């Protein structure tokens, strides 16, 4: 299956994009293994996350509408944001992927989604933080956070993406903000729970 997907990608994306996809696949596998998730599913979602990356805007809109997806004003203005949802459609229809966790990982890799699975979080993080994205101190810190706390990493990576969009005057889809808020709440809840457990263990 992987060879068939790679052959399809070679015919449908640019060589630099293919290298990005393979780095995402690798990082997904590494993060999944580190956090005790299904490595095979994570790698599969990473490999297929950008299947529709170079589909023309009209094709993205047509496929999304045929699938019954809501086309809000941001999607209508920036159809490329639909490539994640459409990539999941291609994974299902072209390659017979039925595993909903893999399909969700593909769908959520760009905008994220509140209450998304840890596997979806892994794909979301790998897409933004794979080694080819750069070597700044901030990216290094975000990659380290991925090893320590997935929810905090999603929270901070969402903020990183939001700053980039603001600096470049781009439209921001509401899901990006909802993802940031959800991940921040999850990280804070986890931290509070850890502090509570610590206080129980330490005698007064």
Q: Is the dihedral of CA 88, 149, 24, 171 positive or negative?
A: positive
- How many domains, the chain? 1
Which residue range forms the structural domain that includes residue 155?
A: 2-201
Res 42 pLDDT > 90: yes
d(CA 4, CA 117): 27
DSSP string, 63-111: HHHHTT----HHHHH-GGGGHHHHHHHHHHHHH----HHHHHHHHTTTT
Average pLDDT over residues 179-193: 88
Q: Which of 9-13, 48-52, 195-199 has the lowest mean pLDDT?
A: 195-199
Sequence-ordered list of residues with C-beta below 8 angstroms from that of 44, at least 6 positions apart, any chain? 97, 99, 102
Which CATH number goes with the domain that contains 171?
Answer: 1.10.3210.10
Instruction: Quote the pTM value.
Output: 0.93
pLDDT at 203: 53
- The string of pLDDT tens digits covering residues 79-128 is 999 999 999 999 999 999 999 999 999 999 999 999 999 999 999 999 99
d(CA 176, CA 182): 10
Average pLDDT over residues 62-68: 98
- The string of pLDDT tens digits covering residues 129-174 is 999 999 999 999 999 999 999 999 999 999 999 999 999 999 999 9
């Amino acid at each position: 299956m992987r060879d068939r997907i790679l052959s399809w990608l070679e015919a449908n994306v640019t060589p630099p994009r293919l290298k990005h996809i393979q780095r995402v696949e690798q990082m997904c596998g590494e993060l999944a293994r580190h956090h005790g998730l299904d490595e095979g599913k994570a790698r599969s979602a990473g490999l297929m996350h950008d299947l529709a990356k170079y589909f023309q805007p009209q094709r993205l809109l047509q496929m999304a509408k045929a699938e019954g997806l809501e086309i809000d004003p941001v999607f209508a203005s920036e159809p490329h944001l639909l490539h994640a949802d459409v990539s999941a459609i291609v994974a299902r229809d072209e390659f017979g992927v039925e595993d909903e966790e893999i399909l969700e990982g593909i769908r959520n890799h760009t905008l994220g989604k509140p209450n998304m699975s840890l596997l979806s979080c892994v794909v979301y993080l790998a897409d933004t933080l794979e080694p080819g994205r750069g070597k700044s101190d901030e990216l290094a810190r975000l990659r380290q956070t991925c090893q320590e706390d997935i929810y905090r990493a999603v929270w901070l990576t969402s903020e990183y993406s939001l700053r980039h969009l603001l600096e470049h005057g781009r439209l921001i889809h509401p899901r990006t903000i909802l993802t940031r808020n959800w991940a921040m709440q999850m990280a804070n809840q986890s931290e509070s729970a850890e502090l509570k457990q610590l206080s129980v263990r330490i005698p007064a």
